[in-house]
Amino acid sequence: MSQLSMNNTAARTILVCCGTGCQANGSMAVYQAFRRELADSPGTQVHTYTKSTGCNGWCEKGPLVKILPDEITYCRVKSEDVPEIIASLRYGTVMERLLYRDPVTKQVYRSHRDTNFYKKQRKVALRNIGEIDPANIQDYLDRDGYNALRKALTMPPAQVIEEVLQSGLRGRGGGGFPTGLKWKACAAVERTPRYVICNGDEGDPGAFMDRSIMEGDPHSVLEGMIICAHAIGASAGFIYVRDEYDLAVHHLSRAVEDARKHGFLGKNILGSDLSFDIEIVRGGGAFVCGEETALIASIEGNPGEPRDKYIFPTEKGLWGQPTVINNVETWANVPVIINRGAAEFASIGTTGSKGTKVFSLVGKVVNTGLVEVPMGTTLREIIYDIGEGIQKGRKFKAVQTGGPSGGCIPEDLLDLEVDFDSLTAAGSMMGSGGLIVMDDRTCMVEVARYYVNFLAGESCGKCVPCREGISLLLETLTRICEGKGRLEDLDLLESVSATLQQAALCALGRTAPNPVLSTLKYFRDEYLAHIVDHRCPAGICKELTEFYIDPELCTGCGRCRRKCPANAVAGEKKQAHVIDPSRCIKCGECINNCNFQAVKVK
Amino acid sequence: MRIKIDGIEIDVTSGETILEAARRAGIHIPTLCYHEAFGGQGICRMCIVEVKEGNRTRLVASCTYPVNGEIEVKTSTPEIERIRRNIVMLLYRRAPNSEFMKRLYEEYGRPADITPADPEESCIMCRLCVRACEKVGSHAISAVLRGTEKRISTPYDEPSPDCIGCCACAQVCPTGTIKVSTMPGKYEIWNKAFEMDRCESCGRPFVPPVILEHVRSKLGPEFTEEHLCPDCRKKKTGKIMADSHMSK
Amino acid sequence: MAGDIRQAAALQEMEQIIAQYPAERRYILAIMQDLQKKFNYLPKEGLQMTARHVNAPMSTVYSMATFYKAFSLVPKGRVNFKVCDGTACHIKGSQTIINEIYQCLGIKPGETTPDGEFSLETVNCLGACAIAPVLVANQKVYAKVTPAAVREIIKEHGGQINEPAVNE
């Protein structure tokens, strides 16, 4: 244990991350252990206060425990470690074994802030997450909470809209529509009541920034919505949350109650003319409800089917009334813009996309978790500097952005400066900000099939191009993955994709072919390998895969033999092993577990 | 205001759809899910047209696009025709067992050689049946499930207590998917059998009691007509006319 | 007789749940969520009562019950396994978890064991991608699940494990 330079009798705050990721790793037990241990030993020299916080985004290293003001971060803490941590606080020492150690440089980091994962990040939307107890409104108030609302209430509504417009904030849910324009259009419609909706139906597989914000900093979302209510003259607000997000529903409900008690919601908010309240609506589990008009249908008590959007919800939205819908991350940015001014916000980012964007960096990358960076950061910086490259030293193949509406971006575009427009130009899209890293063990045809299969179940099934087009795309891609593909299939995929893009009713349908078209564009050779050469280069499509062991590289360690569930690997110790293709079930355990890259795909 | 469709100037009222305006002017736009009685649904997308507004050109569904300004519309371009051919191909793939789709598939020159998904299927999911049922006020059928599984049914595929056997759904169905099977004195639709009441005069079965009840509930208590089949009613009316004529 | 009493009690519970909500169509979703939580599925009588309560057609309520994935029209098992098949979980091997559950319990996604103990479903991204692959047993989230862990999880929830079929 190394000595702390701090005065060891200072008051400490112990923050235990209790986001979904850390909870799955057992953080509640750690939190309870702290409470118990500290209650059992009164009269301790250290004044401690334990809080459970929202998601720090470093889920892979969880459960995370932070000690303030010392700025110590402990990783993968178990409840057994708790007595030792408390003792260390008394004696003013740091427990080195729980600090983060860089797997390559072996360097030990005392605070998570110094690690590569955090250093390049810039927290705006995630400013409070992991720093406050989301169930305690006082924590939020202590960090400038609801000051933006106070300020906004002194401004004329038009000025608030102007400020948001000037900031250049664009919708974080995927479309990237300028938020200020939306508000302005809604405020301009004479009819009342007007409504404000928070879209918390985060459904892109591989994205979880909205969950993290709703769980970890619910008041920032409420504050954004109340400011908007003042700006557009709305009387009621709705937060539509995925029902699967239990903790988010719980924390948001608590936040709404507390905000009412403090006079931030209800009649004559903070003594002003503004009367506004928020209701929480639990979604029913439908990806398509992330689409605004489907979400509105769902709140109204209908199946979540979109309608043609020739008239925008800002004019005819919920129950036919003028309505502003913004995504969770968008709302969380609003108080910052009002507090610090549009100019400061607009100083971050690129010409067309201002501010920061939260990405969920997942897949075959070393550091996984939530990453917030200025718009314009390159994919390479995100994946290699923050994410520290590909797991197990394998080869990068593609990064998928934008979920089922997005596309796969190849290695030669890694220096792309990420913003709304650059991703669209590359045939993908921002979406809600999922970044799924894929390596040479990912089959791009199978990835396209995966997304299309996802949409086959998630399309609302209303319009013909989407329902029937996706069905045909899925049938064709499945055929290719099973080794029965024909060269004409590629033309068919392109032709049907074009019809979807041009004629489908809603954005979900119009963007549904993106995973197909982007893989056809950048990874056509893999399609051809499946169709012409009858092989799957990644070794994923079982009908087209045969594994073999390169005797030059095999050390005879026996790891693959032990991992093989089908007893298909044979070989003596320290001798090159051999795979029996007739027994092999193509599960890939051998190739995934080989430390010498000796298992190959034929 | 005035808009141009295929070069023809047409006066429209604000909010009228492009399709309505075109039909009024006698310009044909193909549709599969449209019926004048229910308005545009935006489902089949066959009615896609190109709209030019200022410098912006885009494709829209003419059955749901409300005219709100000066626009120029083209109802057919090579791009639009490609879309229509693909839609016909996709629907034929779905519903190969429908004469209607077979004919359309041939009309559009057999776009793409595809294998039909289910050889027995004939429904194209235009939902005109659901609209008709709603309009009658029964609400017995609806679109259930979602995604590629979506289909039309009564709740639990069981005979629905809300179904009055009016058969409006079967009448409006373009592919003849909804079957009405008739048997002596009764008929069946959506798995529900309807016994018919007999004519008070000739004793022939002619209408199920639920329909009469429905009609009575709509027309009010003053509607106290006898139970007569159309033939007997005609005879009766004729007789009254003749009697009144005779008495003059 | 006992069945009738149980049925009456269930109907009463449904009534209580439904009565908590104003008679407005927009509460259909919320009512169905509460019914699903209470009964592990949506009983037909519950949907009929809901339709009457909010004065909506039964066909509309049924349409919603089949549209949203949170609902089931048949009872789920005492322990409901949800295997996340979001992209991150998918490329990290969610399929092997599904296979292992099939090996151990003989159920595929959408199925329930004959004794009503376990059911399995796949779900779209649960937003826990950093700890993929993820399995949820009732409310409890398990991180980085391996086939071996699946067996432990089943045991933890009181399940008997079928011996895996011996490979030829």
pLDDT more than 70, % of chain C: 95
The pLDDT of C133-155, averaged and rounded, is 89
Which among A238, A221, A216 has a CA at the least distance from the CA of A331? A221
Q: What sign has the CA pseudo-torsion A110, A115, A120, A121?
A: negative
Neighbours of chain B (3+ CB pairs under 8 A): A, C
Angstroms from B179 CA to nearest CA on chain C? 20
Provide the CATH number for the domain formed by A356-439 in this structure. Answer: 3.10.20.600
Which among A85, A46, A44 has a CA at the least distance from the CA of A64? A85
Q: Could you give the maximum distance between any two Cα atoms of chain C, in Å?
A: 61
Provide the CATH number for the domain formed by A546-601 in this structure. Answer: 3.30.70.20
What CA–CA distances, in Å, run from A110 to A79, A99, A570, B207?
A: 20, 6, 46, 85
> What count of residues does chain C have?
168
C62 and B144 within 8 Å at the Cβ level: the answer is yes
Q: Point out which residues pair with A240 in neighbouring strands.
A: A199, A281
Q: DSSP letters of A164-195?
A: HHHHT-B-TTTT--BHHHHHHHHHH---S--E
* pLDDT for A559: 93
Binding-face residues of C in 64-103 toward A, CB within 8 A: 64, 67-71, 85-88, 90-92, 96
> Where does the pLDDT of residue A2 fall: very low under 50, low under 70, confident under 90, or very high at 90 and above?
very low
Judging contacts by C-beta atoms under 8 Å, the chain B residues touching residue A303 are 143, 146
How far apart CA A364 and CA A436 sit, in angstroms, is 8
* pLDDT for A367: 86
Among all residues of chain C, which has the CA nearest to that of B159? C59
Q: Is the peptide bond before A205 cis (omega within 30 degrees of 0)?
A: no
Q: Shortest CB distance from B142 goes to which of C44, C47, C62?
A: C62
Query: Is B248 within 8 Å of chain C by CB?
Result: no
Alpha helices in B95-201 (DSSP H): 99-107, 128-136, 168-172
Residues 6+ apart with CB under 8 A from B235: B201
Which among B226, B222, B193, B233 has a CA at the least distance from the CA of B210? B193
* pLDDT for C163: 54
A301 and C126 within 8 Å at the Cβ level: the answer is no
A503 and B59 within 8 Å at the Cβ level: the answer is yes
* pLDDT for A112: 83
Query: Is A473 within 8 Å of chain B by CB?
Result: no
* pLDDT for A47: 60
Judging contacts by C-beta atoms under 8 Å, the chain A residues touching residue C88 are 205-206, 362-363, 368, 436
A22 C-beta neighbours (distance < 10 Å), count = 32
A457 and B147 within 8 Å at the Cβ level: the answer is yes
End-to-end CA distance of chain C: 51
How far apart CA A539 and CA A529 sit, in angstroms, is 12
Q: Are A223 and A149 in contact, with CB atoms under 8 Å apart? A: yes
For A99-150, what is each residue's pLDDT tens digit?
998 877 888 999 888 888 888 899 999 999 988 999 999 999 999 999 999 9
End-to-end CA distance of chain A: 52
Q: What sign has the CA pseudo-torsion C83, A293, A509, B122?
A: positive
If DSSP codes are grouped into helix, strand and coil, which group holds residue B225? coil
* pLDDT for C130: 74
Question: Is beta strand A356-363 parallel, antiparallel or unpaired with respect to A369-374?
Answer: antiparallel
* pLDDT for A179: 98
* pLDDT for A5: 42
Judging contacts by C-beta atoms under 8 Å, the chain A residues touching residue C126 are 20, 244
Topology (CATH) of A2-114: Glutaredoxin (3.40.30)
Query: Is B94 within 8 Å of chain A by CB?
Result: yes
Among all residues of chain A, which has the CA nearest to that of B150? A461
Q: Are A67 and A136 in contact, with CB atoms under 8 Å apart? A: no
A508's tokens: 């979900």
* pLDDT for C165: 45
Lowest-confidence pick of A474-478, C44-48, C73-77: C73-77
How far apart CA C141 and CA A486 sit, in angstroms, is 43
CATH architecture of B127-181: 2-Layer Sandwich (3.30)
For A497-531, what is each residue's pLDDT tens digit?
999 999 999 999 999 999 999 999 999 999 999 99
Query: Is B167 within 8 Å of chain A by CB?
Result: no
Number of B to C CB contacts under 8 A, please give it.
Answer: 36
B139 and C44 within 8 Å at the Cβ level: the answer is no
Query: Is B137 within 8 Å of chain C by CB?
Result: no
Query: Is B34 within 8 Å of chain A by CB?
Result: no
Q: What residue type is assigned to position A183 of the chain? A: W
Query: Is B122 within 8 Å of chain C by CB?
Result: no
B127: exposed, middle or buried (Cβ count in 10 Å: 0-12, 13-18, 19+): buried
Average pLDDT, chain B: 92
A254: exposed, middle or buried (Cβ count in 10 Å: 0-12, 13-18, 19+): middle
How far apart CA A438 and CA A434 sit, in angstroms, is 13
Q: Are B86 and B111 in contact, with CB atoms under 8 Å apart? A: yes
Residue A256 pLDDT more than 60? yes
> Where does the pLDDT of residue C76 fall: very low under 50, low under 70, confident under 90, or very high at 90 and above?
confident
Angstroms from C8 CA to nearest CA on chain A? 28
Q: Are B154 and B160 in contact, with CB atoms under 8 Å apart? A: yes
Task: Determine what percent of chain A falls in helix, strand and coil, rounding each to the nearest 5.
Answer: 45, 15, 40
* pLDDT for C29: 96
For B58-98, what is each residue's pLDDT tens digit?
999 999 999 999 999 999 999 999 999 999 999 999 999 99
Query: Is B139 within 8 Å of chain C by CB?
Result: yes
Residue C152 pLDDT more than 70? yes
* pLDDT for A6: 44
A558 C-beta neighbours (distance < 10 Å), count = 15
CA dihedral A596, C92, A360, A513 (to 10 degrees): 110
If DSSP codes are grouped into helix, strand and coil, which group holds residue B209? helix
Average pLDDT, chain A: 91
* pLDDT for A298: 97
If DSSP codes are grouped into helix, strand and coil, which group holds residue B181? strand
How far apart CA B134 and CA B160 sit, in angstroms, is 14
How far apart CA C54 and CA C63 sit, in angstroms, is 15
* Higher pLDDT pick, C120 / C127: C120
Lowest-confidence pick of A168-172, A348-352, C73-77: C73-77
Question: Is beta strand A195-200 parallel, antiparallel or unpaired with respect to A323-327?
Answer: parallel
Q: DSSP letters of A115-149?
A: SHHHHT---STTTTTTTS-TT-HHHHHHTTTTHHH
Judging contacts by C-beta atoms under 8 Å, the chain B residues touching residue A464 are 32, 43-45, 87, 90-91, 124-125
> Where does the pLDDT of residue A9 fall: very low under 50, low under 70, confident under 90, or very high at 90 and above?
low
Query: Is C137 within 8 Å of chain A by CB?
Result: no
B234 — alpha (psi -120 to 50), left (phi > 0) or beta?
Answer: alpha
Q: Are A184 and A229 in contact, with CB atoms under 8 Å apart? A: no
Query: Is C59 within 8 Å of chain A by CB?
Result: no
Q: Shortest CB distance from A467 goes to which of B65, B82, B148?
A: B148
> What count of residues does chain A have?
602
Which of B104, B146, B150, B152 should one mutate to test binding to chain A, selecting the residue with the greatest count of A CBs within 10 A?
B146
Which of C124, C138, C139 should one mutate to test binding to chain A, selecting the residue with the greatest count of A CBs within 10 A?
C124
Q: Shortest CB distance from C87 goes to which of A24, A303, A400?
A: A400
How far apart CA B181 and CA B168 sit, in angstroms, is 14
Please report, for chain A, the start and end positions of each structural domain, with discontinuous segments joined by +.
2-114, 137-346, 356-439, 444-531, 546-601
Q: Shortest CB distance from B144 goes to which of C44, C47, C66?
A: C66
pLDDT more than 90, % of chain A: 71
Neighbours of chain C (3+ CB pairs under 8 A): A, B
C58 and B146 within 8 Å at the Cβ level: the answer is no
Query: Is A490 within 8 Å of chain B by CB?
Result: no
Query: Is B81 within 8 Å of chain A by CB?
Result: no
Provide the CATH number for the domain formed by A137-346 in this structure. Answer: 3.40.50.11540
As a three-state string, the secondary structure of A230-275 is: HHHCCCEEEEEECCCCHHHHHHHHHHHHHHHHCCCCECCHHHCCCC
| Angle at the Cα of A172 from the Cα atoms of C88 and A200, rounded to 5 degrees | 70
For C80-112, what is each residue's pLDDT tens digit?
999 988 887 888 888 889 988 998 999 999 889
Alpha helices in A549-601 (DSSP H): 559-563, 589-593
Among all residues of chain C, which has the CA nearest to that of A20? C128
Query: Is A28 within 8 Å of chain B by CB?
Result: no
For A156-207, what is each residue's pLDDT tens digit?
999 999 999 999 999 998 889 999 999 999 999 999 999 999 999 988 877 8
* pLDDT for C1: 58
| Angle at the Cα of A293 from the Cα atoms of A319 and A331, rounded to 5 degrees | 95
C58 and B144 within 8 Å at the Cβ level: the answer is no
Provide the CATH number for the domain formed by A444-531 in this structure. Answer: 1.20.1440.230
C91 and A23 within 8 Å at the Cβ level: the answer is no
The pLDDT of B100-107, averaged and rounded, is 96
Q: Are A601 and A547 in contact, with CB atoms under 8 Å apart? A: yes
* pLDDT for C166: 41
Binding-face residues of A in 273-302 toward B, CB within 8 A: 286, 288
If DSSP codes are grouped into helix, strand and coil, which group holds residue C89? helix
Residue A46 pLDDT more than 60? no
Among all residues of chain A, which has the CA nearest to that of C125? A205
Q: Are B78 and B171 in contact, with CB atoms under 8 Å apart? A: no
How far apart CA A499 and CA B62 sit, in angstroms, is 16
Q: Shortest CB distance from C124 goes to which of A21, A205, A434?
A: A205
* pLDDT for C164: 46
Residues 6+ apart with CB under 8 A from B82: A495, A498, A499
Lowest-confidence pick of A227-241, A290-304, C64-78: C64-78
What CA–CA distances, in Å, run from C112 to A311, A548, C36?
A: 45, 39, 16
Structural domains of chain C in order of their starting residue, each with its CATH number: 2-67 (no CATH), 79-156 (3.40.30.10)
How far apart CA A466 and CA A479 sit, in angstroms, is 20
Which among A578, A556, A557 has a CA at the least distance from the CA of A567? A578
Binding-face residues of A in 503-522 toward B, CB within 8 A: 503-505
Judging contacts by C-beta atoms under 8 Å, the chain B residues touching residue A499 are 82-83, 86-87, 90
For A209-226, what is each residue's pLDDT tens digit?
999 999 999 999 999 999
Number of H helices, E strands in chain B: 7, 12
For A529-584, what is each residue's pLDDT tens digit?
999 999 999 999 989 999 999 999 999 999 999 888 778 999 999 999 999 999 88
> Where does the pLDDT of residue C168 fall: very low under 50, low under 70, confident under 90, or very high at 90 and above?
very low
> What count of residues does chain B have?
248
The owner of tokens 């398509």 is: A288
Topology (CATH) of B2-76: Ubiquitin-like (UB roll) (3.10.20)
Neighbours of chain A (3+ CB pairs under 8 A): B, C
How far apart CA A213 and CA C111 sit, in angstroms, is 34
Residue A492 pLDDT more than 60? yes
Q: Are A49 and A12 in contact, with CB atoms under 8 Å apart? A: yes
Q: What is the pTM of this model?
A: 0.91
Residue A414 pLDDT more than 60? yes
For B163-216, what is each residue's pLDDT tens digit?
999 999 999 999 999 999 998 889 999 999 999 888 888 888 888 888 888 888
* pLDDT for B9: 96
Judging contacts by C-beta atoms under 8 Å, the chain B residues touching residue C67 are 144-146
ipTM of the complex: 0.91
How far apart CA A456 and CA A479 sit, in angstroms, is 16
Containing A355, the helix (H) or strand (E) segment is none
What CA–CA distances, in Å, run from B168 to A172, B174, B213?
A: 46, 12, 16
A147's tokens: 């000051």
